[in-house]
Amino acid sequence: MSTISREEYAKKMRLALSDNHICKPDGTVNHQYFLVKKGQYWGEEKIQYLIEQLEKIGVGNWKQMQKGLLEQTSEIELELRTCLLFKTTDIQPYMDKKFTKIEIEQIAQQNIEKAQQLSKLKYGVFVV
């Protein structure tokens, strides 16, 4: 008879009984899920959908984005989530432009580097 550690047992139980957002695929706890108000957690599928909308529609076209998975999302929240993707508090330079996922990641990295140089990085975002 094989025995498993208490930690492994807990991971298996989490996977069997928890919502897929509560724990990661390896059974460890997704702490990010518990750091936001109930109903405001964005899972990976919602983030990917926002990125797809930024590719198709472009930054700033919030009303058009409020379809599908983002139907219950306010324009303000879409703007804030876009700021988080770009790692900046100022998305004006990106308005009315379309970006691929790779371009968004590159811009985010550039914004982090610029923020570090200027000592304006707060919570992983370039505060302009």
Residue pointed to by tokens 């702490």: 31
Q: Are residues 3 and 28 in the same domain?
A: yes
**pLDDT > 80? residue 116:** yes
Give residue 102's domain range.
42-126
Q: Are residues 58 and 94 in the same domain?
A: yes
For the chain, the domain total comes to: 2
The pLDDT value recorded for residue 4 is 82
Query: Would you place residue 15 in the very low, low, confident or very high pLDDT band (cuts 50, 70, 90)?
Result: confident
Residues 6 or more apart in contact with residue 82 via CB below 8 angstroms? 50, 54, 59, 91
Q: For residues 88-116, give the mean pLDDT.
A: 96
Strand ranges, E, within 1-128 = 121-122, 125-126
Q: Are residues 34 and 48 in the same domain?
A: no
Q: Are residues 1 and 21 in the same domain?
A: yes
Q: Are residues 12 and 71 in the same domain?
A: no
Q: Are residues 24 and 48 in the same domain?
A: no
Q: Are residues 111 and 55 in the same domain?
A: yes
Least confident segment among 29-33, 73-77, 90-94, 107-111:
29-33
**pLDDT > 70? residue 81:** yes
Q: Are residues 66 and 112 in the same domain?
A: yes
The answer, as to whether pTM is greater than 0.95, is: no
Sequence-ordered alpha helix ranges (H) in the chain: 6-17, 31-34, 44-56, 62-65, 75-86, 101-118
CA 128 – CA 125 distance, rounded (Å): 9
Q: Are residues 57 and 84 in the same domain?
A: yes
Q: Are residues 46 and 103 in the same domain?
A: yes
**pLDDT > 70? residue 40:** no
Q: Are residues 69 and 34 in the same domain?
A: no
